[in-house]
Amino acid sequence: MDVTQAIKSRKSVRSFLDKKVEKETLTSILEMARIAPSFFNYQNWRFVVIQNIQTKRKLVNDAKSPSFVAESPIVIVGCGKPFESITSSDNSSYIIDTTIALNHVTLAAVQFGLGSCWINIFDEKKVKEILDIPEEIRVVALLSLGYPKDVSVSEKKRKTMSQLIKFEKW
Ligand SMILES: Cc1cc2nc3c(=O)[nH]c(=O)nc-3n(C[C@H](O)[C@H](O)[C@H](O)COP(=O)(O)O)c2cc1C
């Protein structure tokens, strides 16, 4: 599968088959995140990979993430470490770096027939409590991952190129 195909085939998956993701598959996908680019190559992102059902239920019940999180075979919690001394225009590069790594996962997953969905709805304090995430670390996003129940191709509802992209000047 080439990159174009992977990008075009990826869609948000919120309903999963009760089918285990093989360890080798998960490792291959996580390897694509490992080699993602980052600001100054600091690699200031970390993932917590959740497969335990009790933990997933806590993410739904206590941290108020969407109910499909408990049905996802795997939940990746994307975390980043903000810079203590600001070396760039601001200290938000951990968000960008974590997002890039997670996005590599979403695209690599397609190649293995897996679906994913970004999750931005969660109580960060509770997520950190549940997973023992240190104080200085921020939770950027969650990603559900698993074999999709529905493999149909859905139309991408997107703005037009001219609405989104300007050339040379705004
Ligand atoms: C940063 C981010 C956060 C998102 N958060 C959620 C979420 O909390 N719950 C959810 O159901 N979908 C969430 N989504 C999925 C979007 O709704 C979805 O990507 C968008 O509607 C486009 O559909 P597609 O992914 O199928 O192409 C999120 C997507 C992104 C990129």
Is the Cβ atom of 70 under 6 angstroms away from ligand 1? no
Residue 115: domain span: 3-164
| 170 occurs within a structural domain | no
Is the Cβ atom of 114 under 6 angstroms away from ligand 1? no
pLDDT of residue 84: 62
| 33 occurs within a structural domain | yes
Look at phi and psi of residue 93 and say left if phi exceeds 0, alpha if psi is from -120 to 50, else beta: alpha
| 115 occurs within a structural domain | yes
Q: What's the number of domains the chain is made of?
A: 1
pLDDT of residue 149: 95
| 87 occurs within a structural domain | yes
| CA angle, residues 22, 72, 2, in degrees to nearest 5 | 60
Q: Considering the entire predicted model, what is its pTM? A: 0.95
Residue 140 near residue 78 (C-beta atoms within 8 A): yes
What is the 58 CA–ligand 1 centroid distance (Å)? 21
What is the 140 CA–ligand 1 centroid distance (Å)? 14
102 to 64, 124, 163: CA distances (angstroms): 21, 17, 26
| 150 occurs within a structural domain | yes
Cα(46)–Cα(40) distance, integer angstroms: 16
The tens digit of pLDDT for each residue in 122-132 reads: 999 999 999 99
| CA angle, residues 73, 60, 51, in degrees to nearest 5 | 25
The tens digit of pLDDT for each residue in 50-99 reads: 999 999 999 999 999 999 999 999 999 999 998 765 555 567 899 999 99
| 169 occurs within a structural domain | no
| 127 occurs within a structural domain | yes
pLDDT of residue 167: 97
Ligand 1, atom 2, residue with closest C-alpha: 118
CATH number of the domain within which 85 lies = 3.40.109.10
The tens digit of pLDDT for each residue in 13-51 reads: 999 999 999 999 999 999 999 999 999 899 999 999 999
- Torsion sign over Cα 50, 54, 56, 59: negative
pLDDT of residue 86: 56
pLDDT of residue 155: 87
Q: From edge to edge, which strands make up the β-sheet containing 138-146?
A: 45-50, 74-80, 138-146, 115-119
| 55 occurs within a structural domain | yes
The tens digit of pLDDT for each residue in 158-169 reads: 999 999 999 999
